[in-house]
Structures are given as structure tokens and as C-alpha cells.
């Protein structure tokens, strides 16, 4: 096996190891990044929903209550405003959602799905649980969810969510007597949940991964070419020349000119040594021929 083949085999082995380990590492890193990005997005949406809720309570509700028109305005309800705004956002981002999902909702659109019910049950089972993060499939789209428990801690909530009789008449005129009642203090009634799709960051992760593989491939090809050309020019060609001359010398052909030596590397030293050896052989041969001639002359 030639030196180039051996070196090329070694290069391919190193490249394969770099590809497998580097590729896996880059894949997990980009996956991790993507997950972090999605989690950040979800947290941001949650914070925005919480901000809308407190804006409604602190700024919208006091003004609407001044109307005194005897009507119930859902715009005064934080759950309503946060959900409405999230639904407006969904028009351009259909895979993003914010929902206040409860077992027994005032507004039927807030009824928990079976997947959401499972999450609420986890909050009911573990009172210490403050937050749940996980992945789920929403209409075939891999998504991440963040959910918080909705626990009734403020007795004021019961003014509308205890019994229909206690609730404002104007509210019952809109929502009826069926849902959103019977909630108790300290009870977990539902979950506040943000769902964000993985598609965009996953796409980004895939692109980063492939561009890493392509750069590694280009780098390897360049390295392969440079190493092969260098070995050929610096080692193989000079060694082949010395071999050819040694071969000729062994056949007694000592007429070729000496090897031209340039530089000071190991190959140059070997060429110098070879030239010296060749000169000595030439001298010995010349001496032998002279002695032979003298012997002939004497005889
Ligand atoms: C003035 C009456 C009123 C009070 C007080 C009130 N809510 Fe509500 N709540 C409503 C109405 C009406 C809805 C339905 C809004 C809609 O159409 O989305 C609602 C909806 C909700 C929802 C969404 C699920 C559902 O039932 O549709 C949650 C969660 C909720 N309220 C929690 C609370 C909490 C927690 C408090 C106390 C901090 C509270 N509410 C106080 C009237 C009230």
C-alpha cells in the first residue's frame, strides 16, 4: 500500500470520526438552542397575557364600571381580554395559542380538552407544582406548552364564580347559569396555557446542522487536496528520483547527473547523502578500472 493511500485512509478515518462526533454534538446543541428559543417565546407570550390581565383589571375595568348602563361588559374580565387578544394574534400565527382552560367554564370556548384536563389533574394532584413544560402534537405540528395552575386564591372571584344566585344578573343574562360556577377558594379550577410550535426553530436547527456538515465537507476536501499535493511534491517525487538513480547505479550506470538539492529538509539531506555515496562509488569504480588497466599493462 502506497504512503498516499495510507495517509488518505487515515484522513478518511479522522474525518469520519469528526463527522460523527461533531455532527452529533452540533445536532444536539442546535436542538437544545431551538428548544430554548421556543421556551423563551412561550414565556414571553405568557408574560404578555399576564400583563393584559392586569391592564384589564387596573385600567379598563374601572372605566367601564363608570358607565353604569346596567350591562355586563366582558371587556372587564381579564380572562376574556387575554383570550381575545391571543385569538387576534392567532389570525396571523395560527399555531400559537393562549388559553385559560377550565373543567367548568363560564364561556364554553374555555372548556379544557382532554389533554388539558390531564395537565389540570396533575396540578390538582401536586399542590406544590407551579409550572409544567412539555411537548405535544397540535394538528400534526410538534409544539411546546407551558402551563400554570389557575387556583382561586382571591375571595372576590367567588362574586361571579360561586353560585348563579350570587353572580351579577347582567352577567347571567349573557352567560347563563350553566358554567363557571361552584368554584371554591384554594381550588385549582384550570390551567393557563401557552402553546408554541417548534417548526421555525427546528427548521433553523436543521439548516445550521446541514451548513455545519457542508463546511466540514469542504474543509476536508481542501485538506485532502493540499495534503496529497504536498506529499507528492515534497516526498514522493524526490524519493522516486532517488530510487530510480539507485536502481541505475546498481546496474552500473553512473553517468546521470547528480540530484539537484534545494532546501534543508530530511529529503534534501537524504539526496546529499546519496550524491556523496554515488561520488564514492564512482571513485572506487575509477580506481578499480585503473588497477585493472595497470595489471593488464604489466601482463
Ligand atoms: C364580575 C364577575 C367576575 C369576577 C369577579 C371574576 N370573573 Fe372570572 N370570568 C367572568 C366571566 C364573565 C368570564 C367569561 C369571560 C369570557 O367570555 O371569556 C370569566 C372567565 C374566567 C376564566 C376563564 C374560564 C371560564 O370560566 O370561561 C377564568 C380562569 C376566570 N374567570 C378566573 C377568575 C378568577 C381567578 C377570578 C378572581 C381573581 C375571577 N375570574 C373573577 C366573570 C368574573
Backbone angles phi, psi at 269, to 5 degrees: -60, -40
Given a cut of 80, whether residue 222 has pLDDT beyond it is yes
Q: What total of structural domains would you count in the chain?
A: 1
CA of 58 to the centre of ligand 1 (A): 15
Residue 272 in domain: no
Q: What is the pLDDT of residue 207?
A: 86
Ligand 1 centroid vs 160 CA: distance in angstroms? 7
Domain limits for position 75:
3-206
Residue 143 lies in a domain: yes
- pLDDT tens column, 2-61: 888 998 999 899 989 988 898 888 888 888 888 888 899 999 999 999 999 999 999 999
CB atoms < 10 A from the CB of 89, how many?
Answer: 14
165 lines ligand 1 (CB under 6 A): no
Q: Whats the size of the chain, residue-wise?
A: 299
Assess if residue 181 is contained within a domain: yes
- Output the residue whose Cα is nearest ligand 1's atom 10: 77
**Å from CA of 54 to ligand 1 middle:** 13
Q: Is the CB of 157 under 6 A from ligand 1?
A: yes
The string of DSSP codes covering 84-142 is HHHHHHHHH-TT-EEEEEESS-SSGGGB--HHHHHHHHHHHH-TT---EEEEEEETTEE
Amino acid at each position: 500500500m502506497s504512503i498516499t493511500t495510507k495517509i488518505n485512509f487515515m484522513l478518511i478515518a479522522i474525518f469520519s470520526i469528526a463527522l460523527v462526533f461533531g455532527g452529533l454534538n452540533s445536532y444536539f446543541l442546535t436542538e437544545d438552542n431551538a428548544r430554548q428559543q421556543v421556551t423563551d417565546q412561550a414565556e414571553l407570550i405568557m408574560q404578555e397575557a399576564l400583563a393584559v390581565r392586569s391592564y384589564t383589571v387596573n385600567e379598563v375595568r374601572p372605566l367601564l364600571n363608570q358607565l353604569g348602563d346596567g350591562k355586563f361588559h366582558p371587556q372587564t374580565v381579564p380572562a376574556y381580554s387575554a383570550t381575545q387578544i391571543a385569538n387576534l394574534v392567532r389570525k396571523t400565527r395560527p399555531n400559537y395559542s393562549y388559553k385559560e382552560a377550565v373543567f367548568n367554564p363560564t364561556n364554553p370556548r374555555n372548556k379544557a380538552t382532554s389533554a388539558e384536563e390531564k395537565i389540570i389533574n396533575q396540578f390538582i394532584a401536586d399542590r406544590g407544582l407551579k409550572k409544567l413544560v412539555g411537548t405535544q402534537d397540535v394538528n400534526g405540528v410538534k409544539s411546546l406548552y407551558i402551563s400554570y395552575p389557575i387556583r382561586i386564591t382571591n375571595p372576590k372571584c367567588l362574586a361571579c364564580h360561586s353560585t348563579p344566585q350570587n353572580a351579577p344578573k347582567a352577567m347571567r343574562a349573557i352567560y347563563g347559569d350553566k358554567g363557571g360556577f361552584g368554584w371554591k377558594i384554594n381550588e385549582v379550577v384550570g390551567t393557563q396555557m401557552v402553546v408554541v410550535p417548534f417548526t421555525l426553530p427546528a427548521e433553523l436547527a436543521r439548516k445550521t446542522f446541514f451548513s455545519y456538515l457542508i463546511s466540514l465537507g469542504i474543509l476536508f476536501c481542501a485538506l485532502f487536496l493540499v495534503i496529497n499535493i504536498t506529499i507528492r511534491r515534497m516526498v514522493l517525487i524526490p524519493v522516486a528520483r532517488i530510487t530510480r538513480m539507485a536502481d541505475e547505479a546498481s546496474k552500473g550506470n553512473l553517468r546521470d547527473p547528480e540530484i539537484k538539492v534545494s532546501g534543508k529538509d530530511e529529503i534534501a539531506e537524504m539526496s546529499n547523502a546519496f550524491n556523496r555515496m554515488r561520488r564514492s562509488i564512482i571513485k572506487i569504480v575509477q580506481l578499480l578500472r585503473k588497477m585493472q588497466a595497470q595489471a593488464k599493462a604489466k601482463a
